[in-house]
Every structure is written in structure tokens, then in C-alpha cells.
Amino acid sequence: MIVGRRLILEADGGSRGNPGPAAYGTVLRDAESGELLFEEGATIGVDTNNVAEYRGLIAGLIAAKELDPNPHVEARLDSKLIVEQMSGRWKIKHENMRRLALEAKAILPTGAVRYTWVPRSENATADRLVNLALDGQPMRRFREGDQADADAEGERAPNALVGWSHTHPDVATTVLLRHGETEHTAHKRFSGWGGDDPGLSDVGRQQAELVASYLKTSGGIDAIVASPMARTRETADIIASALGLAVAIEDDVRECSFGEWDGLTFEEVQERSPDELARWLAATDIPPPGGESFAQVSQRVAAARRRLMEMYPNQIMLVVTHVTPVKTLIGQALDAPAHSVFRMHVNPASLSSIQWFGDGHASVNSFNETMHLT
């Protein structure tokens, strides 16, 4: 493994009530110079201290990967629980904690993060960010080079209920479109990245035409982005032709790879591999044989979203994608548990819309809309 920059991660979290209004704080420093590179404080709704602390760790690890694709991180936390659990010395009994730990472990390669317990007095910066966020002053800021984003020096974003304030920060909107129907869709077959990659059926092309007609009438789309798979590119091309826009390809919004299950129905997988299927349904970090876990999809989809927000600031993007990325982005916007992907249904050619605010908040405006198809 190529090891890049050495970073110090400081993270904390807390809630006022446990559970109660909760927030996390996370900081990244250069391990050699001690220079402050990144800081973030954000609210996560009503939750517990432990969940908030894990969220701080996850946010810091994601930012570390943004700073360097192969960092070596020392995570310094004042939570003995998280340090011992992430180091593998304590068993994680609580299901929610286990899922958060798996999410954290999936961000960087094994061995890239070392965990160190520190007294609370040595975690004061992250603790301060927690309290600022809870007091209505969330923030996210890189401190070096062209990584700088979010709030200007000294400014804080309001901690308002999304949609209730008239003074929103910068906002990018993703209109998520699941591709039109394919032969696999009609028979409910697993159809992932690396499989047969079918194009649209006649029904799927009709659905794409209906979406194009609806979007042309409703207006507002500034850019079209599509997964590289055949069915999404075909859907996007039909719509782009109607709207007079070009299509940009984003690899990381492709469908999950289902490995050996690709092309099979759920019933066929259940008959052939009942134990493997049960494990897959029980945890988002378990991939199908030869495939990709939902936790891995979550990481690349989140990275794609951040890139798209930078490429199309304050614009409305039509993102032509698949079931798993749509569910993943909805879950991320709602800060829902990872296993929420198993509790959503997304129809072919359905539309969902999310606003992503510059202060880190998000607002789900619609989900799985299909009225344009009738």
C-alpha cells in the first residue's frame, strides 16, 4: 500500500440529553508541522453521545481521504469506547454502533488508521466545534490551497430548520432519475456493474420519452449527468436531445456490482445461495460473492456528490442513475442508518429531488415520483 500524507485526526461528539440534540466536531492536522488543515462541526438531529462521536470520526476520515487518497491517520479520540472498538479489542454489541464502525472502517484501507485515546483536555478543538454546532454555528472548512470551501473566515452558517429560513446558503440540487426499464428490470433480475449491461427495452425508451417531455415542460434543469452504464446513457441521451443539453458521465454513480448474482432473480439467488443472501441482507458491509458491498457504494457515491456540487455550484443537475445510488443519496441526505437502503423502493424512470446546502444541510424535496409516467 502506498502511504501518503501523515495526518492527525481529532474528533468528538455529544448530545444535550443523551439522546437529545446532537452534533460532532472533527479536526485534521499535518502530523509533521501540526498545521490545522480541516475543521468541521455539524448537527445530526436527535441522537446519543456515542453516535455523535462515531459521526465525528467518520466525517474526519472522509475529509482525510479528500486531502490525500492514501493518508496515514492517527485518530486521537477521548472516547475509550470507540478507540477500543475500532482497534478490535472490544466487541461491538449494539447494532447501530456496529454499522457505524463498519462504515468508518470502509473509508480507508486496513492499516491506514491508528487509534489513540487522549484525555478530554487534549481534544478541546473538536469539543469546541461540537458546542458551536449545537449553539447554531455549524461549519466545514479546509484550511489549505484550493481545498478551501464552505464558510469564509469568521462566518458561520445558521442552524435553521431546512426550508423554514429565507436566507439559505449556496445550494445545489440533484434531481435523481432511475433509468428506464430493461429486460432485467421487467423480470426483477440483479443487474449491476460488470454484468450484462442491458440497454433499454421498448417500454424503457417510452418511459425516457415521457420523462423528457415532463422535464422540457417543467424546465429548470441546468446540467445532465449519467452513469456510464448502457441503460443510463440511453435514458440520458433521450432527455438531453429534448432539452438541448450535453451529457456528462460520472463513473461513481454506476450501479452496485452484484458479482456472481448478476442476471439472477432474487428467488434464484435464494435457492442457490441462501446463507450468503441472508448475510448480505443483514449488513451493508457484506458484498455478494465477487461483488461490491453497499458500504463501498456509499463511499463512492458520496465522493461523486461532492465533485458534482463543485462542478455545478448553485445549479440543478439531472443525475441519471440506478436503484442503489438513488437510495444511498436519499439515505445520506436524511442521515438515515445504512440499512435504510433495504427499506426503500425506487421505480424505473422515477424522479427524486434533493437540495444540498453549502453549510452541510440537505433537504429531500421528493422521492420516487412517477406521475409523469401516467
- Predicted pLDDT of residue 71: 94
Q: How far apart are CA 262 and CA 191, in angstroms?
A: 5
The answer to whether residue 106 scores a pLDDT higher than 60 is yes
pLDDT value at 239 more than 60:
yes
Over pLDDT 70: what percentage of the chain?
92
* Residue 201: per-residue pLDDT: 97
In the chain, what are the domains? 6-144 (3.30.420.10), 171-373 (3.40.50.1240)
Q: Give tens-digit pLDDT for 183-226.
A: 999 899 999 999 999 999 999 999 999 999 999 988 789 999 99
In the chain, the amino acid numbered 255 is E
Q: What is the pLDDT of residues 227-236, one digit of tens each?
A: 999 999 999 9
For 139-167, what is each residue's pLDDT tens digit? 888 875 434 343 333 333 444 455 544 44
Global pTM reads 0.59
Q: What is the pLDDT, as a whole number, of residue 285?
A: 86
In angstroms, the Cα distances linking 335 to 47, 52, 123, 263 are 11, 12, 25, 31
**Residue entry with cell 445530526:** 44
Give the tens place of pLDDT for each residue, 65-84.
989 989 999 999 999 999 99
Q: What is the pLDDT of residue 144?
A: 56
Cell of residue 9, nine digits: 485526526
pLDDT reading at 169 higher than 80: no
pLDDT (0 to 100) of residue 146: 38
> Catalytic residue positions?
179, 255
pLDDT of residue 174: 96
Query: What local confidence, expressed as pLDDT, does residue 113 receive?
Result: 96
Cα distance between residue 204 and residue 207, in whole Å: 5
pLDDT of residue 3: 57
Q: In sequence order, what DSSP letters do the residues of 188-256 get, joined into one string?
A: TB---TTS------HHHHHHHHHHHHHHHHH----EEEE-SSHHHHHHHHHHHHHHT--EEE-GGGSPP
Any idea which of 33-47, 62-76, 158-172 has the lowest mean pLDDT? 158-172
Predicted local confidence at residue 261, as pLDDT: 96
Measured CA to CA, the distance from residue 200 to residue 204 in angstroms comes to 5
For range 291-319, the mean pLDDT = 91
Predicted pLDDT at 56: 95
pLDDT for position 121: 87
